[in-house]
Amino acid sequence: MRLDKFLKVSRLIKRRPVAKEACDTGRVTINGKVSKAGAEVKVDDIIEIEYASKKVRARVLEIRQTVRKDEAVSLYEILEGAVIE
């Protein structure tokens, strides 16, 4: 699955255009490497997102095309930081 789509489906970032912008400006990494929006996300990848004043690290647990809002947290495990609501 594309990185920007995973970020949106998992609700780590609420909207896909915002996820794409974050990726394209170098604020998102997969396994320590700066990644573009089209990068492929796989189970067990470590995604790191830099927000304005926070950093979030999460491990991908599952890849699903669609998920209900209350089930989105089952797609990842927070390793550091907190998801911004």
pLDDT of residue 30: 97
- CA dist 80 and 85 (Å) reads 16
Is 85 a domain residue? no
Q: Please return the burial class of 28, using the count of CB atoms within 10 Å of its CB with bins 0-12, 13-18 and 19+.
A: buried
pLDDT average per 10 residues of sequence, the chain (85 residues): 96 94 95 96 96 90 94 92 63
Looking up residue 71, the CATH number of its domain turns out to be 3.10.290.10
pTM of the model: 0.90
Is 33 a domain residue? yes
Give me the number of domains the chain comprises: 1
Could you list the residue range(s) of the whole structural domain that residue 62 is in? Answer: 3-80
Closest C-alpha to 9, from 74, 83, 65: 65
pLDDT of residue 84: 57
- CA dist 16 and 31 (Å) reads 21
Is 10 a domain residue? yes
pLDDT of residue 52: 81
